[in-house]
Amino acid sequence: MIAGQGFSSINGVTGLEKFEFESIDGGLINLGDFGDQAVLVTNTASNCGFTRQYDELQKLHEEFSTFGLVVLAIPSEDFFQEFSNNDKVKEFCEVNFSLTIPMTTITKVKGTNAHPFYRWLASEHNFRPAWNFNKVLFNKEGEFVDSFGAFTSPNSRKVRSKILELLQN
């Protein structure tokens, strides 16, 4: 899922563009395809007390996608609150939240078996998801900007102001 072994620079590439995920819809989600867009990445779970944040993530997508924001959901079972089947995750999100944001398949986000993206975040930015619905924001150049814990709503003033700042630049 990553070209090469190092995390800080691969063939001169230092940001998001070196990572790809399997899409829950089939195919791949290459973060490099989001060039010139700010990206909000959230590790998610269907059976968590914070699952209602899907509504807010969808609203951010609807409000800001035309201005250059990508909202990416990464379902994970690492905190034991996700279905074990990608089809169930997809159906749950479509039925309960009418979710249209890009979503990966169920992905490891912590520990030594974490997806290379999350190992890179830990290594280069000292970010490790402490729970479901931890959010990471990147600017249009694919550079890490900020992270937000589960208790920070995607629609909070803190998150929205950072997004607006990135979209205006």
Q: What is the CATH number of the domain that holds 125?
A: 3.40.30.10
pLDDT, one tens digit per residue, over 91-137 is 999 999 999 999 999 999 999 999 999 999 999 999 999 999 999 99
- Residue type for 108, please? K
Output the pTM of the full model: 0.91
Q: Per-residue b/e over 81-97, b at no fewer than 16 CB within 10 Å?
A: bbbeebeebbebbeeeb
Output the pLDDT for position 14. 54
Percent of the chain with pLDDT over 90: 86
Please state the domain count of the chain: 1
User: Residue 132 belongs to what domain range?
Assistant: 16-168
Q: Per the domain annotation, does 155 fall within a domain?
A: yes
Which is the catalytic residue, given 48, 99, 137, 159?
Answer: 48
Q: Per the domain annotation, does 22 fall within a domain?
A: yes
Q: How confident is the model at residue 8 (pLDDT cuts 50, 70, 90)?
A: very low
pLDDT, one tens digit per residue, over 70-86 is 999 999 999 999 999 99
pLDDT, one tens digit per residue, over 9-18 is 334 445 788 8
Using an 8 Å Cβ cutoff, are 103 and 75 in contact? yes
Percent of the chain with pLDDT over 70: 92
**Maximum alpha-carbon separation in the chain:** 42
Alpha carbon distance 134, 119 (integer Å): 15
Q: Per the domain annotation, does 43 fall within a domain?
A: yes
Residue 93 annotated as catalytic: no
Q: Per the domain annotation, does 7 fall within a domain?
A: no
Q: Per the domain annotation, does 9 fall within a domain?
A: no
**pLDDT of 140 higher than 70:** yes
Q: Per the domain annotation, does 74 fall within a domain?
A: yes
